[in-house]
Amino acid sequence: MKIVILNGSARKGNTSAAIQAFRKGAEGKHEIEVIEPHKLHIAPCKGCGACQCHKGCVDKDDTNPIIDAIAAADIILFATPVYWWGITGQLKLVIDKCYCRGMQIKGKKVGLIVTGGAPVDNVQYELIEKQFDCMAEYLGWDMLFQKRYSANAKDELAKNEAVMAELEELGKEL
């Protein structure tokens, strides 16, 4: 299977560590592509409707290659740190631009990994999960998992052997 991982973080910290552990477990059995929106030029969706939800975006930016990869994926993993009780702006840009091919991302298998500084019972994680629940319901996604992790220091998650093992196992189970 082809797995596309959308890395919502622009830093090499806890979200990156989570992605690497997951990827380590999935490698060898799956084709994996990590997309890092912060390195790309993605204009905000203008809601122009020219794409008609299947043609692709009319913007002359990096949108269409990203959406091509997402549409071709069997599994999409969204990974994001918490920014102001939500996902990062970089990840939101990609999600918004998925509108241009919305019909082609229906029925996908999806996973969500969220890292934040607050304890995992904080409402910020719930808000993000509910947003993904709504998208999953609308697009008929098979939500494989939603994981939340609390880590404050840059390398805190990477030092947590239990969490790294859990994430690696998630990748292996696919």
What does the pLDDT read at residue 53?
72
What's the CA gap between 174 and 157, in Å, rounded?
Answer: 22
Please indicate whether residue 75 or residue 100 has the higher confidence score (pLDDT): 75
pLDDT digits (tens, 9 = 90+) for 39-54: 999 999 998 988 877 7
Residue 68, phi then psi, degrees to nearest 5: -55, -45
Return the pLDDT at 154.
87
Distance of CA 101 to the CA centre of its chain: 17
Q: What is the pLDDT of residue 92?
A: 96
What does the angle CA 161 – CA 36 – CA 10 come to, to the nearest 5 degrees? 70
CATH code for the structural domain at 2-173: 3.40.50.360
Write the DSSP assignment of the chain as a string of letters: -EEEEEE--SSSSHHHHHHHHHHHHHBTTBEEEEE-GGGS--PPP----TTTTTS---SSSSHHHHHHHHHH-SEEEEEEE-BTTB--HHHHHHHHHGGGGGGGGTT-EEEEEEEESS-TTSHHHHHHHHHHHHHHHHHT-EEEEEEEEE--STTHHHH-HHHHHHHHHHHHH-
pLDDT digits (tens, 9 = 90+) for 10-23: 999 999 999 999 99
Confidence of residue 56 (pLDDT cuts 50, 70, 90): confident
Q: Domain-by-domain residue ranges, the chain? A: 2-173
The pLDDT, as a whole number, for residue 143 is: 97
**pLDDT by residue (tens digit) across 80-121?**
999 999 999 999 999 999 988 888 899 999 999 999 999 999
Distance CA(123)–CA(82), nearest Å, equals 11
pLDDT band at 62 (very low <50, low <70, confident <90, very high): very high
The pLDDT, as a whole number, for residue 20 is 97
The tens digit of pLDDT for each residue in 118-165 reads: 999 999 999 999 999 999 999 999 999 999 999 999 899 999 999 999
Assess contact for 42 and 94: CB atoms under 8 A. Answer: yes
Q: Is residue 8 scored above 90 in pLDDT?
A: yes
For residues 65-94, one letter each, b for 16 or more C-beta atoms within 10 angstroms of the residue's C-beta and e for the rest, the string is ebbeebbebebbbbbbbbbeeebbebbbbb
